[in-house]
């Protein structure tokens, strides 16, 4: 656990001071910033410096939970509330009692659920799904979003009353490109941490490559930088990283027209942020090619053999015509039903995080049977 945000920029120094000022209170906090800037780290620091540090910190990715089950996940449900609800179940707010709940990507939360969140903020009370008894909890709420909530309010996608309730304390994390002095500090930290964990000797980055990294845009912010540093260390473990290495793996020296057969209806000069668009599309294409290489019949057979259960069966003839994603979707539905749609039990059984499970449920548009 970090004891402060890493960096020496004015923005980070001020943010670290504000965190220490806000943390000891119980006031709700809204953390804003682009994806990858470290909003979850800030939430963790607020909890760490609060009087609740010895109590639970429950993190919920609101954008990854399907609309049909988010209220059950947050507030729990009563036995018989819906098909498969064979027992009472505590939600995340009850789990976080006397501690902190971090609602990540709150801008993606359904409007009806926002009403209940506002009630919890104002009264500390809620009802389980299917229940008729008020439950009172003592929970500090920290929320985060990479959206402009003011715009979401105008577009009727976010409740104005909840927005004003949350924004009384708004901690904004500046994008990495606006605090370049933090980049060398982060590079050093990520490289040392990764090499220590993986027993890899790192020979450093030469001056030209470091200058390039300092001036790179980093659209994915600290998360993108961390992933890049870890990848480059693995690729070149026995020598110093050069400028050519960096450029090669940041896809800055490749011909966009060769990489992307895209038809443009406007001149490139009229397309906003054209360079960033090209880089992003190139990275997406690279990822797609990697995925396609993995989607073979052998992968499907492996998935079936590893995850097959007594009651889960796909006829061999049908399986041969299915993609890995199709098989995984069928198996997820089977496992969720087998666990009465209990996310925690299902994630344990599948040996993956609840956050990743939520992502897959949303990805495959899986709806709970009610």
Residue 203 forms part of a structural domain: yes
pLDDT, average across residues 178-187? 96
Alpha helix segments (H runs only) across the chain: 10-22, 39-48, 70-75, 92-95, 111-123, 149-154, 160-166, 183-198, 207-214, 221-235, 243-249, 256-259, 274-294, 297-307, 316-319, 324-338, 343-350, 354-363
Which pLDDT does position 313 carry in this prediction? 61
Of the pLDDT bands very low, low, confident and very high (cuts 50, 70, 90), residue 255 is very low
CATH code of the domain covering residue 83: 3.40.50.300
Do 121 and 195 sit in the same domain of this protein? Answer: no
Residue 129 forms part of a structural domain: yes
Do 329 and 232 sit in the same domain of this protein? Answer: no
For 211, what's the count of Cα atoms within 13 Å in the CB-facing half-sphere? 5
* Beta bridge mates, 100: 57, 140
Answer yes or no: is pLDDT of 299 > 90.
no
DSSP string, 249-302: HTT-SS-HHHH-----SS-GGGSTTHHHHHHHHHHHHHHHHHHHHH-SHHHHHH
- Tokens 């006829």 belong to residue: 315
Q: Cβ neighbours of residue 319 under 8 Å, at least 6 residues apart?
A: 300, 301, 304, 327
Do 162 and 266 sit in the same domain of this protein? Answer: no
More confident residue, 77 or 2: 77
Answer yes or no: is pLDDT of 311 > 60.
no
Which of these three, 119, 139, 174, is where a domain ends? 174
Which of 100-104, 125-129, 194-198 has the highest mean predicted lDDT (pLDDT)? 100-104
Which pLDDT does position 83 carry in this prediction? 63
pLDDT above 90 coverage of the chain, percent: 53
Do 265 and 312 sit in the same domain of this protein? Answer: no
Do 35 and 66 sit in the same domain of this protein? Answer: yes
Residue 219 forms part of a structural domain: yes
Interatomic CA distance for residues 133 and 142, integer angstroms: 25
Residue 2 forms part of a structural domain: no
Q: Cβ neighbours of residue 135 under 8 Å, at least 6 residues apart?
A: 75, 94, 125, 126, 127, 128
Do 36 and 143 sit in the same domain of this protein? Answer: yes
Do 126 and 111 sit in the same domain of this protein? Answer: yes
Do 276 and 200 sit in the same domain of this protein? Answer: yes
CATH code of the domain covering residue 199: 1.10.8.60
Answer yes or no: is pLDDT of 111 > 50.
yes
Residue 4 forms part of a structural domain: no
Residue 188 forms part of a structural domain: yes
Do 255 and 190 sit in the same domain of this protein? Answer: yes
**Cβ–Cβ < 8 Å for 39, 19:** no
Classify residue 59 by its DSSP letter.
E
Q: Smallest Cα–Cα separation from 10: which of 181, 172, 221, 188?
A: 181
Residue 266 forms part of a structural domain: yes
Which of these three, 151, 174, 197, is where a domain ends? 174
Q: What is the pLDDT of residues 130-163, one digit of tens each?
A: 888 899 999 999 999 999 999 999 999 999 999 9
Q: What is the pLDDT of residues 20-58, one digit of tens each?
A: 999 999 999 999 999 999 999 999 999 999 999 999 999
Do 269 and 330 sit in the same domain of this protein? Answer: no
Residue 3 forms part of a structural domain: no
Do 122 and 160 sit in the same domain of this protein? Answer: yes
Antiparallel, parallel or unpaired: β 135-136 and 125-126: antiparallel
Which of these three, 265, 292, 319, is where a domain ends? 292
Do 163 and 49 sit in the same domain of this protein? Answer: yes
Full residue range of the structural domain in which residue 137 is found: 10-174
Least confident range of 38-47, 61-70, 111-120, 296-305: 296-305
Q: Classify residue 225 by burial, with Cβ atoms within 10 Å: 0-12, 13-18, 19+.
A: buried
Report how many domains make up the chain: 3
């Amino acid at each position: 656990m970090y004891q402060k945000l890493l960096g020496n920029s004015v923005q980070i120094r001020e943010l670290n001071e504000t965190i220490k000022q806000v943390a000891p209170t119980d006031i709700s906090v809204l953390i804003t910033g682009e994806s990858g800037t470290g909003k979850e780290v800030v939430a963790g620091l607020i909890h760490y410096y609060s009087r609740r540090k010895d109590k639970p910190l429950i993190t919920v990715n609101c954008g990854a939970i399907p609309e049909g089950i988010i209220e059950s996940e947050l507030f729990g449900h009563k036995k018989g509330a819906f098909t498969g609800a064979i027992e009472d179940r505590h939600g995340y707010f009850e789990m976080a009692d006397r501690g902190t709940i971090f609602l990540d990507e709150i801008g993606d939360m359904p409007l009806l659920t926002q009403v209940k969140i506002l009630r919890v903020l104002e009264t500390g009370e809620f009802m389980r799904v299917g229940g008729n008894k008020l439950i009172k909890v003592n929970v500090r709420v920290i929320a985060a979003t990479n959206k402009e909530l003011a715009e979401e309010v105008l577009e009727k996608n976010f409740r104005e009353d909840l927005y004003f309730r949350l924004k009384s304390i708004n901690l904004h994390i500046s994008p990495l490109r606006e605090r370049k002095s933090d980049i060398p500090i982060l590079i050093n930290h990520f490289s040392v941490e990764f090499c220590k964990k993986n027993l890899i000797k790192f020979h450093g980055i030469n001056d030209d490559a470091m200058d390039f990294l300092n001036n790179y845009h980093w659209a994915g912010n600290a998360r993108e930088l961390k992933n890049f540093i870890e990848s480059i260390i693995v690729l070149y473990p026995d020598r110093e990283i050069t400028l050519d290495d960096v450029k090669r793996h940041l896809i800055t020296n490749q011909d966009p027209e060769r990489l992307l057969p895209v038809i443009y209806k406007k001149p490139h000069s009229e397309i906003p942020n054209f360079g960033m668009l090209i880089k992003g599309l190139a990275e997406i294409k690279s990822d797609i090619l990697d995925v396609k290489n993995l989607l073979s019949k052998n992968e499907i057979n492996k998935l079936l053999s590893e995850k097959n259960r007594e009651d889960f069966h796909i006829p061999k003839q049908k399986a041969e015509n299915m993609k890995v994603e199709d098989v995984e979707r069928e198996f997820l539905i089977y496992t969720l039903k087998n666990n009465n749609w209990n996310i925690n039990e299902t994630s344990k059984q599948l040996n993956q995080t609840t956050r990743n499970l939520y992502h897959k449920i949303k990805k495959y548009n899986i709806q709970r049977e009610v």
